[in-house]
């Protein structure tokens, strides 16, 4: 009897949530798992682009007075390398994990706003293509990823380069804002019954902290982009002294966004670390509550340190004093986290598999980057090494070390859930070591080249300055790193067909994404899980109870496209949340926006106005029909 | 262990997720205006003359009256949300129309003022004018978008029935109006501050 | 202690210390900008007075928040709170955070007062 009920419920769920494969479903899907996979694939392509750019730069810098790339191309390549890594690879890749994993980890069936989720993917893709199309006309952004004025003003960069930058980032801001709001509401309102605030998985905390940072930090960048575009296009004045503006205003606005952005990149990544460590250390996280606090506190404090990027601009000492103390103190939460992870590993029974290898690599690299970070909080030291390769070494240790290492840990950890097959462990180990050695060989010597006085953003240097061997080492390291990354990519592609089929929970993990099949069904969970601890998938009896509940048709919500809405503090059931099915409007709206931005870029004002009209019409069309009404 | 887990179909205890979404939209918009207003004062602190010589001081009386009209629209917006929750289409429609009408008075008045001010001293003249017009323009655009959404919501309940989905929309929209109206006061205080 | 009072204490402990630091940063930094600006420097804003006032107000708020967090934690340990541990979680984390924010507020304020204004 019970099994008949269960089978009946499963059939109904399958019928409700199924999307018939084909072009239509491809263009209209709102399934968070499809969108998550798309984010991951698209961001990987941008990663390859940024990698190729980096290799081109390193090739040019391998020997003194090289002629591989001229200064004009070099400026575009290093600017686009930065823009791509920060805006088009790391953040969206982590959003890809967030999209796929967050609803599963909190026991929901989709995001709070599934169509908005599709919109944030399509606008991400379109804005990335928009920014990259600048290469077609040979006018890619070329004033660095932080695009300082006055260099970025029309008088000094007359081409379209900076217009691509401003408009592309404004376009991308739509994607990030919509995505962040979606993550916040999803994590606060759609958690499984019983998942109170203290039981939210740390990866979700990382995404939550990131999303809040984006909501409050991104507008500063958008304001700066709008101001600069108005100045370049219509002759407004914000950043030019001759008309009452101030070039430092750009730096303030940029870094009010830019420093929180470091944590926007970093926090979900360390959420991955906090997911992997307890699973492979075979015990709950030590100091769990403090790790949550550290995540939230880092995001918060990240808003109070922006002027430390401007220590060399001649501002008054008192101004620095406001930001120096926080720049030192912000190391405390990171320290708490590092000790929390190490203690968990020491007190557990660690099993070293590929995800854990990347986590251990991360710990080593990140501590080095953290130490040089604290050195910068000493203002006299900062003023000595600012704009030198020491800075390049530092931020690659924290950003590549703090984000890309965990991302690779995440790839190896979640691949079975994403694809339903296991990666080749031997190839993964080999790739890791190439990756780790290559990374350190590339970036460690840069500390020294920086201290020897080599400035950033120069396309070549003369021999005899003591920089030659170190630069050659960095270049060799970069290619080694690239081979390591290619190894992982090969592994990912090969295992998708030939890997061993993955069981539901290959690692013996503690969070809910492992409580469903690999890959999960469209509806994620047949009966919404009920949670009673921080490690719900280790509560074997509770998970058995989920299955019994399915046999009683409880919490299955099989009558419609539905999931459970809960209270944000305690995870008490509040409502049945109706989740809208697939829709063409996110794509249509994105195309309308792309129309507007392209018309604006090329200076066709009538077409741009039509673009605004199309955008408005698309928003109207989106809401014409109610979800569930056919 | 097994607390009863049957969920009644019509259950709704919390605010709808759409309301939460608009709350966060409002937060990010507040940060955008925060950045613009901070830029205004940042440049103002640096300037010996603000507004610069040759630029008239900002008008106070008419913008203040217009802002008062706009702020009043919070009342019908709130009434529309309350009526929506009680599924009363007639009252909700009245609230939506009144809100849009008050906002339209503000938008039209502000537009006329801005055209005059532009003729006196355009945004391209100096940083003071650039910020003055950018901040006001950005706010006026938010009011205009709000009017459009209100009219749209009005059309969706014209058949005399308010579904859950539309109710959520009206509820969330009232939050947006409260925000835009509070922002109007801040924008007014910023832009008229040289004349105070 | 009533539930409502305990809950108010808890939330005051969560919010006040970070708020104090935020206020100090925003208000203190703007006063500093205003004191040193080429235009606003003529308005006669007193550096030490404004900064000391900011430090006193924000420091007190931070300390008050810390005491509230401490009281909330004691209440939890004495048996109030909830079965899921959510209240204890907030009490523990807010008290730890409060310590950091008090330190930050005082460090920043003291550093600012010790320096001469507007000198680079």
Q: Do A253 and B35 touch (CB under 8 A)?
A: yes
Task: Choose the closest CB to A317 out of C22, C93, C119.
Answer: C119
pLDDT at B1: 36
CA B7, CA A576: separation in Å to the nearest integer? 8
Those residues whose C-beta lies under 8 Å from the C-beta of residue B187, and which sit 6 or more positions away, are B33, B37, B135, B136, B139
The SS3 call for residue A625 is coil
CA distance C92 to chain A (A): 8
Averaged pLDDT for residues A382-397: 94
- Whether A584 has a pLDDT exceeding 90, the answer reads yes
| Residue A227: CA count within 13 A, CB half-sphere | 37
Q: Do A570 and C107 touch (CB under 8 A)?
A: no
Q: Per residue in A539-549, pLDDT tens?
A: 999 999 999 99
CA A96, CA A109: separation in Å to the nearest integer? 16
Confidence of residue A380 (pLDDT cuts 50, 70, 90): confident
- Whether A1 has a pLDDT exceeding 80, the answer reads no
Q: Kindly list the residues from chain C whose CB atom is less than 8 angstroms away from the CB atom of residue A332.
A: 100
Instruction: From A576, A575, A582, select the one nearest A557 (Cα to Cα).
Output: A576
ipTM, two decimals: 0.95
Instruction: From A432, A267, A566, select the one nearest B15 (Cα to Cα).
Output: A566
Q: Do C21 and A332 touch (CB under 8 A)?
A: no
Q: Do C84 and A199 touch (CB under 8 A)?
A: yes
Averaged pLDDT for residues A512-536: 95
Q: Per residue in B47-105, pLDDT tens?
A: 999 999 999 999 999 999 999 999 999 999 999 999 999 999 999 999 999 999 999 99
Establish if B125 touches chain A: CB-CB under 8 angstroms: yes
Q: Kindly list the residues from chain A whose CB atom is less than 8 angstroms away from the CB atom of residue B25.
A: 177, 181
Q: Per residue in C26-82, pLDDT tens?
A: 999 999 999 999 999 889 999 999 999 999 999 999 999 999 999 999 988 887 667
pLDDT at A71: 95
Name the closest residue on chain C to residue A315, using Cα atoms.
C120
To test the contact with chain C by mutation, choose from B42, B46, B50, B194 the residue with the greatest count of C C-beta atoms within 10 A, namely B46
Q: Which residue has the tokens 């949670």?
A: A531
pLDDT at C80: 67
Cβ contact A38:A30 at 8 Å = no
CA distance C95 to chain B (A): 27
Q: Which of A90-104, A141-155, A554-568 has the weakest average pLDDT?
A: A554-568
pLDDT at A629: 60
Q: pLDDT above 90 covers what percent of chain A?
A: 87
Q: Terminus-to-terminus CA distance in chain B, angstroms? A: 65
Cβ contact B22:A112 at 8 Å = no
CA distance A239 to chain B (A): 8
CB pairs under 8 A between A and B: 142
Q: Do A616 and B14 touch (CB under 8 A)?
A: no
Q: Do B49 and C39 touch (CB under 8 A)?
A: yes
Residue B73 tokens, joined: 């629209």
Residue of A594 and A322 predicted with greater confidence: A594
CA distance C36 to chain B (A): 8
Q: Do C38 and B47 touch (CB under 8 A)?
A: yes
Q: Per residue in A413-426, pLDDT tens?
A: 999 999 999 999 99
Establish if C38 touches chain A: CB-CB under 8 angstroms: no
Give burial (CB, 10 Å; 0-12/13-18/19+) of A280.
Answer: buried
Q: Do B46 and C30 touch (CB under 8 A)?
A: no
Q: Which of A225-234, A550-559, B138-147 has the weakest average pLDDT?
A: A550-559
Q: Do C34 and B50 touch (CB under 8 A)?
A: no
Q: Which residue has the tokens 């203690």?
A: A343
- Longest CA–CA span in chain A (Å) reads 85
pLDDT at A399: 93
What chains are in contact with B, requiring at least 3 Cβ pairs below 8 Å?
Answer: A, C
To test the contact with chain B by mutation, choose from A116, A153, A237 the residue with the greatest count of B C-beta atoms within 10 A, namely A237
Instruction: From A223, A59, A229, A63, select the one nearest A141 (Cα to Cα).
Output: A229
pTM, to two decimals? 0.96
DSSP A370-425: HHHHHHHHSHHHHHHHTTBHHHHHHHHHHHIIIIIHHHHHHHHHHHHHHHSB---H
Q: Per residue in A43-73, pLDDT tens?
A: 999 999 999 999 999 999 999 999 999 999 9
Q: Kindly list the residues from chain B whose CB atom is less than 8 angstroms away from the CB atom of residue A236.
A: 123-124, 130, 134
CA distance C82 to chain A (A): 10
- Whether A335 has a pLDDT exceeding 70, the answer reads yes
Task: Choose the closest CB to B42 out of A230, A249, A554.
Answer: A249
- Whether C2 has a pLDDT exceeding 90, the answer reads no
pLDDT at A483: 98
Q: Do A317 and C115 touch (CB under 8 A)?
A: yes
What chains are in contact with C, requiring at least 3 Cβ pairs below 8 Å?
Answer: A, B
To test the contact with chain A by mutation, choose from B12, B21, B47, B167 the residue with the greatest count of A C-beta atoms within 10 A, namely B21
pLDDT at B2: 40
**Mean pLDDT of chain C, nearest integer:** 91
Cβ contact A562:A578 at 8 Å = yes
């Amino acid at each position: 009897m019970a099994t008949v009920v269960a089978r009946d419920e499963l059939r109904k769920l399958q019928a409700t949530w199924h999307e018939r494969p084909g072009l239509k479903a491809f263009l209209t899907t709102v399934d968070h798992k499809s969108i998550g996979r798309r984010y991951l694939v698209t961001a990987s392509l941008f990663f390859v682009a940024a990698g190729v750019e980096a290799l081109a730069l390193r090739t040019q810098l391998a020997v003194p007075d090289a002629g591989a790339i001229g200064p004009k191309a070099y400026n575009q390549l290093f600017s686009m390398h930065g823009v791509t890594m920060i805006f088009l690879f790391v953040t969206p890749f982590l959003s890809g994990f967030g999209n796929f994993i967050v609803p599963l980890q909190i026991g929901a069936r989709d995001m709070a706003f599934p169509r908005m989720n599709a919109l944030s993917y399509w606008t991400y893709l379109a804005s990335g293509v928009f920014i990259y199309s600048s290469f077609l006309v040979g006018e890619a952004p070329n004033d660095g990823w932080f695009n300082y004025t006055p260099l970025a003003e029309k008088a000094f960069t007359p081409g379209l380069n900076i217009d691509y930058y401003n408009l592309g980032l404004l376009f991308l801001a739509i994607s990030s804002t919509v995505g962040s709001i979606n993550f916040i509401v999803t994590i606060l309102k759609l958690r499984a019954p019983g998942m109170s605030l203290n039981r939210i998985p740390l990866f979700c905390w990382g995404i939550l902290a990131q999303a809040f940072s984006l909501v409050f930090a991104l507008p500063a960048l958008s304001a700066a982009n709008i101001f600069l575009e108005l100045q370049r296009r219509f002759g407004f004045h914000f950043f030019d002294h001759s008309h009452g503006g101030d070039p430092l205003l750009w730096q303030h606005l940029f870094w009010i966004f830019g420093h929180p952005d470091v944590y926007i990149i970093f926090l979900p990544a360390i959420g991955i670390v906090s997911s992997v460590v307890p699973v492979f250390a075979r015990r709950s996280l030590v100091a769990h509550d403090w790790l949550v606090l550290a995540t939230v506190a880092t995001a918060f404090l990240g808003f109070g340190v922006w002027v430390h990027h401007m220590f060399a601009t001649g501002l008054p000492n008192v101004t620095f004093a406001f930001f120096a103390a926080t720049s030192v103190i912000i190391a405390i939460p990171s320290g708490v986290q590092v000790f929390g992870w190490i203690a968990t590993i020491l007190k557990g029974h660690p099993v070293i598999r590929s995800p854990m290898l990347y986590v251990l690599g991360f710990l080593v690299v990140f501590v080095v980057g953290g130490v040089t970070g604290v050195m910068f909080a000493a203002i006299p030291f900062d003023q000595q090494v600012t704009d030198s390769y020491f800075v390049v070494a530092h931020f690659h240790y924290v950003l590549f070390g703090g984000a890309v290492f965990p991302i690779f840990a995440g790839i190896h950890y979640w691949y079975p859930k994403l694809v339903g097959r296991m990666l080749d462990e031997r190839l993964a180990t080999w790739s890791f070591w190439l990756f780790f050695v290559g990374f350190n060989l590339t970036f460690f010597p840069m500390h020294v080249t920086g201290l020897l006085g080599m400035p950033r953003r120069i396309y070549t240097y003369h021999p005899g300055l003591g920089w030659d061997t170190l630069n050659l080492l960095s270049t060799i390291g970069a290619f080694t790193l690239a081979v390591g990354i290619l190894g992982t990519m090969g592994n990912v592609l090969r295992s998708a067909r030939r890997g061993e089929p993955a069981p539901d929970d290959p690692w013996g993990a503690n969070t809910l994404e492992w409580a469903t099949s690999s890959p999960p069904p469209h509806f994620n969970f047949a009966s919404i899980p009920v949670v009673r601890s921080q490690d719900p998938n280790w509560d074997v009896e509770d998970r058995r109870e989920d299955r019994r509940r399915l046999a009683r048709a409880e919490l299955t919500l099989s009558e419609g496209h539905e999931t459970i809405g809960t209270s944000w503090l305690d995870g008490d059931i509040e409502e049945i949340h109706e989740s809208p099915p697939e829709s063409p409007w996110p794509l249509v709206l994105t195309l309308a926006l792309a129309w507007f931005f392209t018309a604006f870029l090329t200076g066709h004002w009538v077409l741009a106005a039509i673009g605004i009209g199309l955008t408005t019409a698309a928003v109207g069309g989106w809401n014409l029909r109610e979800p569930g009404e056919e | 262990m097994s607390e009863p887990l049957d969920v009644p179909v019509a259950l709704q205890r919390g605010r709808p997720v759409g309301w939460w979404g608009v709350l966060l939209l409002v937060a990010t918009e507040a940060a955008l205006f925060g950045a613009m207003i901070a830029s205004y004062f940042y440049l103002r602190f640096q300037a010996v003359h603000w507004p610069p010589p040759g630029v008239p001081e900002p008008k106070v009386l008419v913008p203040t009256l217009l802002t008062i009209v706009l702020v009043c629209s919070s009342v019908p917006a709130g009434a529309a949300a309350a009526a929506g929750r009680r599924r009363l289409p007639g009252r909700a429609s009245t609230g939506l129309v009144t809100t849009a009408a008050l906002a339209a008075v503000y938008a039209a008045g502000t537009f006329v003022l801005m055209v005059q001010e532009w003729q006196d001293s355009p945004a391209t003249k100096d940083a003071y004018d650039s910020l003055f017009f950018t901040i006001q323009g950005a706010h006026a655009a938010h009011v205009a978008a709000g009017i459009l959404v209100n009219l749209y919501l009005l059309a969706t309940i014209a058949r005399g029935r308010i579904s859950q989905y539309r109710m959520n929309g009206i509820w969330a929209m009232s939050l947006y109006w409260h925000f835009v109206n509070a922002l109007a006061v801040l924008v007014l205080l910023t832009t008229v501050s040289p004349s105070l | 202690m009533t539930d409502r009072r305990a809950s108010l204490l808890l939330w005051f402990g969560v919010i006040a210390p970070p708020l104090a630091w935020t206020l100090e940063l925003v208000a203190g930094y703007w006063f500093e900008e205003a004191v040193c600006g080429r235009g606003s420097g003529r308005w006669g804003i007193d550096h030490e007075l404004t900064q000391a006032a900011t430090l006193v107000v924000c420091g007190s708020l931070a300390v008050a928040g810390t005491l509230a967090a401490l009281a909330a934690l004691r209440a939890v340990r004495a048996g109030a709170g909830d079965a899921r541990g959510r209240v204890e979680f907030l009490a523990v984390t807010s008290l730890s955070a409060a310590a950091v924010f008090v330190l930050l507020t005082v460090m920043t304020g003291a550093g600012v007062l010790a320096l001469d204004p507007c000198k680079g």
